[in-house]
A and B are shown apart, each in its own frame.
Chain A
Amino acid sequence: MQSPADRRPLSPFVQIFRWPITMVASILHRVTAIALYGGAILFVFWLVALAWGPGAYDFAVMLFGSWLGWLVLFAFTWVLMQHIMGGIRHFIWDTAKGLDKPGINHLAWASIVGGIALALVLWVAVLLAL
């Protein structure tokens, strides 16, 4: 038996709306921040392995050189580039520019396209140089 309270109309929440690109960019900025917060340990792990000795370093290189390691490193690269682009978006806003409606949409798109482009360019450059 439903009480009258259960039949009240619900207020729409985020999953109801079509996602504006500004919302995507904003959520991406925080999600990438949290991913980098955890992922930073990978860089410190690499430093510890190098400080530890040849055996530890070879083990770390083996992990990062595996297909899963490459996948993680590529994801890490994109996440880092996306967070940097999102940060630059905030730097632009800090100068009180790009805050009008077309401006926020352009900056959101630019940060997402820029993040993907930077990650791809970096990896293509590395793979070509190998």
Chain B
Amino acid sequence: MRTMLSQVRGLGSAGIGTDSHLIRQRITAYANIPLIVGAILVVVSLIGADYETARQRLSNPLVAALLVALILNVTIHMRLGMQSVIEDYVHHEGLKAASWIANWLYTAGLAVVGILSILIIALGG
């Protein structure tokens, strides 16, 4: 006989899609640390730099790759974190669904716009 526990284990308050939430949250958290350190070095190196210098620095394939990885990793981490916040504080089902959609749109939007900008800088003339 299948117990109820075996059917609901891992679902959490979201009810769906949380089976690897903690693992993905932790993996993106670990990856965030070296990526953030790299991004801080890039940004600090550009203090006082003019437009051309900044464009050139971000055109470097390593710098562009670092920033694309950072944006992807951070936005996934942000979406997972905000999902937990929503699960904790938003209890109305309709509002919860709307909050999830807003969370997806905001984080995915930041990822798309951010990565596109880096690609334009790195590949564009």
**Is A126 in contact with B78, judged by CB distance below 8 angstroms?**
no
B66 interface residue, CB < 8 Å from A?
Answer: no
In Å, the complex CA distance between A94 and B113 comes to 34
* Chain B residues in 8 Å Cβ range of A110: none
Q: Which of A37, A44, A48, A53 contacts B82 (CB 8 A)?
A: A37
Q: Which of B7-15, B47-55, B92-100 contacts A (4 or more CB under 8 A)?
A: B47-55
Q: Is B60 an interface residue (CB 8 A)?
A: no
| Known pairs A44-B114, A57-B54; A130 contacts B29 (CB<8 A) | no
Q: Give B44 Cβ to nearest chain A Cβ, in Å.
A: 6
Which of A7-15, A19-27, A28-36, A99-107 has 4 or more CB atoms under 8 Å from chain B?
A28-36
Are B78 and A36 in contact (CB-based, < 8 A)?
yes
Residue B40 interfacial (CB < 8 Å): yes
Cβ-defined contact, B74 with A40, below 8 A: yes
- B81 A37 Cβ-Cβ under 8 A: yes
Q: Report Cα–Cα, A22/B10, bound state, in Å.
A: 27
Q: How many residues of B contact A (CB 8 A)?
A: 32
CB contacts (< 8 Å) of B71 on chain A: these are 44
- Asked whether A130 and B48 contact (CB < 8 A) given A40-B110, A50-B55, the answer is yes
Give A44 to B74 CA distance when docked, in angstroms: 12
Knowing A36-B78, A37-B78, A87-B29 touch, does A58 contact B47 (C-beta < 8 A)? no
Most buried by A among B40, B82, B114, B118: B114
The minimal Cβ–Cβ distance linking A89 to chain B, given in whole angstroms, is 11
Tell whether B85 is near chain A: CB-to-CB under 8 Å.
yes
B121 → A minimal CB distance (Å): 5
The CA of A70 and the CA of B13, in the complex, are separated in Å by 40
Contact B58 A50 (CB under 8 A): yes
CB-nearest residue of chain A to B49: A61
Q: Could you tell me the distance in whole angstroms from the C-beta of B90 to the nearest C-beta in chain A?
A: 13
15 pairs from A and B in contact (CB 8 Å cutoff): A44-B113, A47-B117, A50-B51, A50-B58, A50-B117, A51-B118, A51-B120, A54-B51, A57-B51, A80-B36, A84-B32, A84-B33, A84-B36, A122-B40, A126-B44
Chain B interfacial positions (CB closer than 8 Å to A): 26, 29-30, 32-33, 36, 39-40, 44, 47-48, 51, 54-55, 58, 67, 71, 74-75, 78, 81-82, 85, 110, 113-114, 116-118, 120-121, 124
Given contacts A40-B78, A91-B29, 5 further A-B contacts (CB under 8 A): A40-B74, A43-B39, A84-B32, A91-B30, A126-B47
